[in-house]
Amino acid sequence: MIGRLNHVAIAVPDLAQAMAQYENALGASVGAPEDLPEHGVTVVFIELPNTKIELLFPLGADSPIAGFLEKNPSGGIHHICYEVHSIKDAVAQLVDSGARVLGGGMPKIGAHGNPVVFLHPKDFQGSLIELEEVPHS
């Protein structure tokens, strides 16, 4: 079902500092910040030859990333995103297998303009998994 690794998301307590570190210390191509109010985050994508890194910063006090950073003040890996061809088919297969799809299994539109869902970390070895529908994955 899963295809390519789309990105690894890292929650950061200081977005400007993290962007500068990736650009200056690591020489990476760093995109512009983008606010995603529906998800409560500001995101920045770092393009790598084989995948992306997504920097996550809280957008408002109710952001799920604010809660993550309260528990992990230095930041850290928040989730891993895999590509799938069909969110609908992936959700059906996951539910049939007993996995929990967060948000009632209803996709939201993610940072790339594609449907996404998140899978409960307790069902995937403690890791929050995002699935993103990408044509031809």
- Looking at per-residue pLDDT, the higher value among 136 and 56 belongs to 56
Whether residue 137 has pLDDT greater than 80:
no
Which spans in the chain are helix H?
15-20, 64-71, 87-97
pLDDT in tens, 82-107: 999 999 999 999 999 999 999 999 99
Write the CATH number for 22.
3.10.180.10
DSSP 8-state symbol, 83: E
**Number of domain units in the chain:** 1
So what's the pLDDT on residue 135?
81
Q: Which residue type, as a one-letter code, is found at position 117?
A: V
Which residue's structure tokens are 């929050």?
Answer: 128
Q: How confident is the model at residue 61 (pLDDT cuts 50, 70, 90)?
A: confident
For this structure, is 38 an active site residue?
A: no
| Pairing mode, strands 5-11 and 34-36 | unpaired
Length in residues, the chain:
137
Catalytic residue among 34, 70, 83, 130: 130
What is the domain range of residue 93?
Answer: 5-133
